Amino acid sequence: MELNNRKQKILQAIIQDYITSAEPIGSRTIARKYDLGVGAATIRNEMFDLEMMGYLEKPHTSAGRIPSIKGYRFYVDCLLEPAQLSKEEKEFVRSWFIGKMDDVDQIFQSTAKLLSTITHNVSLVMASQQPTSLLEYIRFLPLDNRRVIMLVVTDSGQVESCTYLKPDGVDIDELNVIAEKLTHYLSGTPLAAIDMELLNTFHGNIVDDVELYRMAFQAVHKSLRRHQLYKGGTIELLNKPEFQDVDKAKSIFSMLEERDAVIDLLYDENSTGQSVTVRIGEETRLAPISDCSIIEATFKANDMVLGKVAVLGPTRMEYAKIIGLLDFMKEHVTSILEHYHKER
């Protein structure tokens, strides 16, 4: 059943009120606070329909309703208008970075701190390591009978190393033949420009063995996914009523301390960097944060991904405010990074 105009207005009112109050919403509250032109009884019937359709849920201990993941998804996709930052808010953001642009590390640390300060949620900033560095060479080294170490070395001397299981029947010399060919094709290429799409263009020229090809290319690809990670506002979760349960809070804190888990959460090789995206509840793909949402944007300049910024908090987030903030931050921080790299 399609949501008619009245149901959409009631759903929007419930979500907006719940975001503010964190308490289940009843029909009388909606009738009193919002001029919808109908009484509490009609609103109650519409709320029942919305519950049956999966947009609302009814907690066992309350007569009121709360939004479901489906309800939030519809709200974000169809009802929400991103909030525009005021002139004062934009000036606050700009002034925040004054004196904090001496290096990329400082820029991203400042971004994480600013986001958590404004949103009172967890901020996550992932920065590609030295995006202007050029690949110099690739080499495999033996570790033991089953494992090898792959080295990716850049023109600046940066070394990325990863350990991998060696395919059965393959020796280190065969792997280094692949490494030499990859070096031939990729030497002088910016690290940020090397992805699986680019690697796949060399498939036929490098190796005939499909399994060996897959292992070698995935090794290169994964090694170049090394990123710096910055966090802010983790303690803010303790102030949210959703996370008063100690075990739930502990599970989230533990996940946020696992660097690889957070990188995997933020990493998306298919991201276009063109818009702010929202993942709600189970869409985050991680059990510890299945009651959370994450709103994220990509910093991209000259067709290279410089990093990603995200805000993580309860599904009861101020979506409109945070999306508007990230829209502005994405443009502002990208301009800062572009200016920084021009000056270097």
Residue whose tokens read 């299945």: 290
Provide the pLDDT for residue 206: 66
Provide the pLDDT for residue 82: 93
Residue 197, number of CB atoms within 10 A of its CB: 9
Provide the pLDDT for residue 220: 67
Average pLDDT over residues 272-285: 84
For residues 66 and 11, state if they share a domain: yes
For residues 255 and 311, state if they share a domain: yes
What does the pLDDT look like over 160-213, one tens digit per residue? 677 777 777 778 888 888 888 888 888 888 776 777 677 777 766 666 655 666
111: its two tokens: 């971004």
For residues 235 and 307, state if they share a domain: yes
Q: Give me the CATH number covering residue 168.
A: 3.30.390.60
Provide the pLDDT for residue 168: 76
For residues 292 and 318, state if they share a domain: yes
For residues 119 and 165, state if they share a domain: no
For residues 143 and 205, state if they share a domain: yes
Among candidate residues 199, 224, 249, the one where a domain is terminated: 224
Among candidate residues 181, 208, 224, the one where a domain is terminated: 224
Supply the pTM of this predicted model. 0.75
For residues 140 and 212, state if they share a domain: yes
For residues 149 and 199, state if they share a domain: yes
Residues near 340 by beta carbon (within 8 Å), at least 6 away in sequence: 101, 103, 104, 107
For residues 171 and 318, state if they share a domain: no
Task: Provide φ and ψ at 120, rounded to 5°.
Answer: 60, 35
Q: How far apart are CA 29 and CA 331, in angstroms?
A: 39
For residues 167 and 218, state if they share a domain: yes
**Residue-number span of the structural domain to which 14 is assigned:** 5-79
What Rg do the C-alpha atoms of the chain give, in angstroms?
Answer: 24
Q: Give me the CATH number covering residue 20.
A: 1.10.10.10
Q: How far is CA 121 from CA 235, 279, 312, 324, in A?
A: 9, 15, 6, 15
For residues 232 and 330, state if they share a domain: yes
pLDDT at 156 over 80: no
Residues near 65 by beta carbon (within 8 Å), at least 6 away in sequence: 14, 24, 25, 26, 47, 50, 51, 56, 57, 58
Provide the pLDDT for residue 134: 81
Q: How confident is the model at residue 7 (pLDDT cuts 50, 70, 90)?
A: very high
Percentage of the chain beyond pLDDT 90 is 42
The tally of domains found in the chain comes to: 3
pLDDT at 154 over 90: no
Provide the pLDDT for residue 246: 82
For residues 49 and 184, state if they share a domain: no
The phi-psi region of residue 52 (left if phi > 0; otherwise alpha if psi is between -120 and 50; otherwise beta) is: alpha
Residue 103, number of CB atoms within 10 A of its CB: 11
What does the pLDDT look like over 10-21, one tens digit per residue? 999 999 999 999
Q: Give me the CATH number covering residue 246.
A: 3.30.450.40
Provide the pLDDT for residue 182: 83
